[in-house]
Chains A and B, each alone.
Chain A
Amino acid sequence: EVQLVESGGGLVQRGGSLRLSCAASGFTFSNSWMHWVRQTPEKGLVWVSHINGDGSGTTYADSVKGRFTISRDNAKNTLSLQMNSLRAEDTAVYYCARSFEHWGQGTLVTVSS
């Protein structure tokens, strides 16, 4: 059974940093493209970032480029999202997803101003 479990969310001040993790199991992690997607009631689902299987290729939404960094550890089956210079508009539930076929339960990030 595919499982994706996010962690690391919480309350952080504007300008602060947070690191999200996603623990993956039940599939060959190193073969899978992984994504971060965030959700707010106002904007719905918004794609944030992607990384290919070996970590050599990454892409970002313009809204997070230069502030967020996606990475993966294939030995530990873990996906990460380092979020720096956080803004109020980064407040959202963040999901990790395997090729959009499987999704985690989400972790809430709240940026206080």
Chain B
Amino acid sequence: DVVMTQSPLSLPVTLGQPASISCRSSQSLVHSDGNTYLYWFQQRPGQSPRRLIYKVSNRDSGVPDRFSGSGSGTDFTLKISRVEAEDVGVYYCMQGTYWPPWTFGQGTKVEIK
């Protein structure tokens, strides 16, 4: 199984400042079809997960443009350009290149300092 490792696991940030979350996979996530099936999810307190990013860098509908995804191969990053109060929650990466199983990272908790 592909292991997804996120860092940091806890990220205190100041409102208006940038934030960055790293996600590394145990093997390259480049599929034989040329796509890289790496996703990012946000889970606000008390809510269900919400997909933010698909295939590394594509924002889902309604996702603010302060969220961006980047990376390739085994190293990926989710960046928030300017953190807002509504961004508090846990962020997960997930791979869908080698399935089953689809595998998630451990989650990164973003909180306001």
Contact = CB atoms under 8 A, between A and B. Distances in A.
Contacts of A97: 49
A44 B103 contact: no
Interface string B32-74: 0000000101000000111100100000100000000000000
A61 B48 contact: no
Interface stretch (A22-30, A45-53, A76-84): A45-53
Interface range, A side: 20 to 34
A12 B87 CA distance: 36
A100 B94 contact: yes
Contacts of B51: 100-103
A104 to B, nearest CB: 7
B104 A103 contact: no
A103 B49 contact: yes
Contact of B101 (A44, A47, A95, A105): A47
A92 B99 CA distance: 22
Interface string A94-113: 01010011111110000000
A103 B106 contact: no
Given A100-B39, A101-B60, A45 B100 contact: no
Interface of B: 39, 41, 48-51, 54, 60, 90, 92, 94, 96, 99-107
Interface of A: 35, 37, 44-47, 50, 59-62, 95, 97, 100-106
- For the complex of A and B, the 3 pairs showing the least CB-CB separation, nearest first, are A59-B100, A47-B102, A103-B48
